[in-house]
């Protein structure tokens, strides 16, 4: 009987994520890790500059309303906008650090590994 929860079922259990090869089929190298880290660092710097620019723009333009609800909503929206851009900055920053550490780990493993000849 066909699996009703999976319309593309061929009556075999799905493979786990560990059984599949990487999408590109290539192993990470030190050069790829460094290049990826530099790209993530560039995104981090750009998003950090954007975060500071947005925060300064919001700080220089006070809310001109006597309606308390409008002031609260606009304050929440401003906080949300700055927070989302800052979150993106943090994500790319962690990715940059992680890729650099992965490249360092691969480099150390290659230097420590002894020839098996």
For residues 31-54, average pLDDT = 96
For the segment 16-20, the average pLDDT, to the nearest whole number, is 54
pLDDT value at residue 107 = 93
Which pLDDT score, from 0 to 100, does residue 12 have?
59
Give me the mean pLDDT over the 20-48 stretch: 87
Average pLDDT of 98-111? 94
**Average of per-residue pLDDT across 79-88:** 96
Supply the mean pLDDT for the chain.
86
Average of per-residue pLDDT across 52-62: 93
In this predicted structure, what is the pLDDT of residue 6? 63
Band the pLDDT of 63: cuts 50, 70, 90: confident
Over range 86-96, report the average pLDDT: 97
Long-range contacts of 37-43 (CB under 8 A, 24+ apart): 37/95, 37/96, 37/97, 37/99, 37/100, 37/103, 38/96, 40/92, 40/93, 40/95, 40/96, 40/99, 41/92, 41/93, 41/96, 43/92
């Amino acid at each position: 009987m066909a699996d009703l929860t999976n319309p593309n079922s061929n009556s075999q259990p799905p493979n786990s994520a560990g059984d599949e090869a990487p999408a590109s089929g290539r192993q990470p190298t030190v050069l790829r890790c460094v290049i990826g880290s530099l790209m993530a660092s560039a995104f981090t710097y750009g998003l950090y500059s954007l975060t500071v620019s947005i925060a300064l723009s919001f700080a220089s333009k006070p809310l001109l309303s006597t309606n308390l609800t409008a002031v609260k909503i606009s304050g929440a929206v401003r906080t949300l906008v700055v927070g989302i851009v800052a979150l993106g900055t943090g994500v790319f920053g962690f990715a940059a650090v992680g890729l650099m550490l992965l490249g360092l780990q691969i480099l150390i493993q290659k230097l420590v590994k002894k020839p098996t000849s």
